[in-house]
Structure 1
Amino acid sequence: MADDMSDFFASKAQWVGGGDPIPAPVPPPPPASRRQARQNRKRDRRRRKARLFVALAAVVVVVVCVVTGVNYIHHAPARIEPTKSVAADWPGPGNDPVEFSVESGQGADEIARNLVTAGVVKSPDAFLQALANAGSSSSIQPGTFQLRTHMKAADAAAILTDPKQAGGFLQVRAGDRSRDVIERAAQISGVSKSDFDQIIAAQGQGILPQEAAGSFEGWLEPGAYDVKKLKSAQEILKTMVDKRVAKLNALGVPQGADRERVLNIASITEAEVNKPEYYGKVARVIDNRLGTGMSLGMDSTVAYSKNVSALKLTNDMLNDTSDPYNTRVHPGLPPTPIGNAGDAAIQAAMNPEAGNWLYFVTVNMDTGETKFTDSSSEFDGFAREYKEWESHHNG
């Protein structure tokens, strides 16, 4: 069979062109048997699979290389340390004096732009960076500050975050007495103290609500006031009273005589303890004493009348029966509130904590620890505990 096939291809071969004739290709010999044919087919399949595997592997390698390259290019900037730009800043310390005001509620960005406009700092970014470097505990205070043109941003930030440097804004704190607030208002605003005194003598006519009974005590809302921009004593006082009335309305404090009573109790509560956690209990003691006909016996009311701190009270002051604010000898509440209470004390006066306490003593003036009881003998023990603390700290 093989010889016949060779003869066939040989007879069909033709010569074209010169040179030696090209021998006809010789086909591979046929398999010797069916078993050999099957083995050949298996071998061919294995070869095809191998070639396919090699091709797929090559494709995977190419794809991985491409993805890796694209990913590297895409993320390369993140691995390169960016060049940090330095915000434009003056070297300081500054030139001409500048009076710069910060309004309550202004943001740092707005203040930074205003500083640039005023010629104080060279760029907003320099000031904002200096403010960030000062830390989260530093915040810009409202008020009027004495700065200079061409200041280093860090120096400007240090002044604007220092409450002691703030002027122009009147800060009314919870517990402040109205006489002290009005004194500071006159000093900061430049308005004559006599203008305030005239309004007080006229019992706040046109400013105070009827339930205040002509007294500003308790009716000045705590907060910050730009009194330099308010043109008169009338405008300054009316602004604080109007804000107080608005706050009382927002807190749901009853109208009329009940409103004055709440402010009176809240002011005593604010003056007696320095921790809001005790406000509700103190308000309850006041209510319980009023309900049983006991005198309040609060030293804070006498201290208000004598215009001293409670620690400066003398026995003569405490025994002065002519003093209408002496709640040791006169029953009921004092004639007016004894300060401008904050929100927490007002809410405590409206909603006292449930309890049967009649006495309380602050046994440690450093920590403010205060103990409550309905027992007079236990109260005497608390008083001795305070005296012991006092002997260790005032001896």
Structure 2
Amino acid sequence: MRKLIVKLFVLAVVVLALLAGAIAWVVQAPIAMRHEQVDFTISPGSSMRSAAREIAAAGAELQPWLLILLGKWMRVDTSIKAGSYEITRGITPLELLNKLTRGDVTQSELVFIEGWTFRQMRARLDAHPDLRHDTEGLPEAEIMRLIGAPESTAEGLFFPDTYYFAKRSSDVDVLTRAYRAMQHHLLREWQARAVDLPYADAYQALTMASIIEKETGRPDERPLVAGVFVNRLRQGMLLQTDPTVIYGLGESFDGNLRKRDLLADTPYNTYTRPGLPPTPIALPGLASLQAALHPPATEALYFVARGDGSSHFSPTLDEHNRAVRRFQKGGKP
């Protein structure tokens, strides 16, 4: 009897060893795939069973029961992460399961550039192939409502940066992140602002920063440009900045700013209306925000482009006129 028990025990051990070996081989054998690369998306709240079916439907010849049993055996069957995934030939069921539980999702990126308008932002969003275009065609005010912003006008309220996201993410999510990033930077700079600035609130500072962004050809001149505009506001002078006029012209601007454009009154014409325009005119970067809220002490009230990307700054109108003749009209100073 004892010999029978020993034999049965040995047989059981052998069977278990063979079973363990078979399982080890199965979970570590490469998954057959119909293509070199397979992309799939796991929706939030998906079970291991639905995830396995999604992966199989995408082109991986994986038996769903294998992933389900492996997940239960490793006690991670409820730990898979939602998102977009990418797998290539050679991946094993065990590596796939680890990928799903780590949330090793594929990412795309989208760059918003300093100086862009909201219209340019929307064009880039709508053209991105990896986004879900939930805001396409929506009015601006509705978009702001969707991202939870109290403002109804979107211009200038999104921080220019590179944003990474899982494929098939909503463009609403990207816009929300960009909006919150701008609020974060603006609030921080506003709280640390210089004293006695001529802004009623942080939004006016943002508007000034957007003008600085569009007026500046050289990064090192942002503070000087800010100093000029702050001085002009303090003295009640017109800002007289071309980028605001161009923004007010909208899509009718053909690239050539004419004298009649400078005389045509719009809410954004700072040649005809005092103070700041009603909204920002573009996306300001962090350097422009800092310049607007920490302008250097300067006596300059004017500046003119030299033609090489830099500007000449002047404290008086006479000096400014001489600089205009020298750098823009080809005359002598």
Q: TM-score range by the shorter chain?
A: 0.5 to 0.7
Question: Counterpart of 1:173 in structure 2: which amino acid?
Answer: I
Q: Which residue of 2 aligns with 1:234?
A: 172
Provide the C-alpha distance between the structure 2 equivalents of 1:327 and 1:311, rounded to a whole number of angstroms. Answer: 18
Q: Deviation string for 1:106-132 (max 9, x for gaps)? A: xxxxxxxxxxxxxxxxxxxxxxxxxxx
Residue in 1 that maps onto 2:268: 325
- 1:368 maps to 309
**1:222 equivalenced with 2:163 (yes/no):** no
* CA distance, structure 2, for counterparts of residue 363 and residue 96 of structure 1: 56
Match of 2:327 in 1: 386
Where 2:110 maps in the other structure, the secondary structure is strand
Of 353, 359, 379, the residue aligned with 2:302 is 359
Percent of matched pairs sharing the same residue:
29
1:254-269 map, 5 Å: 258-269=201-212
Instruction: Assess if the C-alpha contact under 8 Å between 2:159 and 2:283 holds in 1.
Output: yes
Q: Distance in 1 between matches of 2:220 and 2:211?
A: 15
Matched, 1:186 2:130: no
CA RMSD after TM alignment: 3.4
Aligned position for 1:315: 259
In structure 2, relative to structure 1, the CA distance for the partners of 1:310 and 1:267 (3 Å cut) is: farther
| In 2: Cα distance, 1:343 partner to 1:220 partner | 11
Count of paired positions: 228
Choose 1 or 2 for highest CA Rg. Answer: 1
Give the secondary-structure state (helix, strand or coil) at the position aligned to 1:361.
strand
Task: Quickly say closer, same or farther: Cα 1:250–1:291, change in 2 above 3 A.
Answer: closer
Write the letter of the residue equivalent to 1:259: A
Following superposition, the deviation at residue 357 of structure 1 comes to: 1.4
Counterpart residue type for residue 293 of structure 1: G
Task: Report the TM-score when normalising by structure 2.
Answer: 0.60
Q: Is the 8 A contact 2:186 2:206 kept in 1?
A: no
Q: For residues 389 and 173 of structure 1, what CA distance do their matches in structure 2 show?
A: 34
Give the structure 2 partner of residue 11 of structure 1: none
Q: Partners of 2:38 and 2:320 in 1: how far apart?
A: 58
**Matched AA of 2:290:** Q
Residue of structure 2 in register with 1:201 after alignment:
141
CA–CA separation in structure 2 for the residues paired with 1:327 and 1:234: 33
Q: Which AA in structure 1 matches 2:310?
A: E
1:288 to 219, 231, 246: 231
Instruction: Normalising by structure 1, report the TM-score.
Output: 0.51
Which residue of the partner structure matches residue 337 of structure 1?
280
For 1:40-119, what aligned pairs fall within 5 Å after superposition?
none
CA contact (8 A) 2:301 2:315 kept: yes
Q: In structure 1, what is the Cα distance between the partners aligned to 2:174 and 2:168?
A: 6
Q: Distance in 1 between matches of 2:121 and 2:213?
A: 16
TM superposition shift of 1:283: 1.1
Q: Which amino acid aligns with 1:239?
A: R
* Higher RCO, 1 vs 2 (CA within 8 Å, ≥6 residues apart): 2
Whole-angstrom distance in 1 between the partners of 2:152 and 2:222: 27
Indicate if the aligned counterparts of 2:269 and 2:277 stay in contact, CA closer than 8 A.
yes
Residue by residue over 1:146-182, the C-alpha shift from the partner in whole angstroms, topping out at 9 and shown as x without a partner, is xx99xxxxxxxxxxxxxxxxx9421112222121012
Cα pair 2:141 2:153 within 8 Å, conserved: no
- Any conservation in 1 of the 2:210–2:281 contact (CA below 8 Å)? yes
- Segments of 5+ residues of structure 1 without an aligned counterpart are 1-94, 100-147, 150-166, 391-395
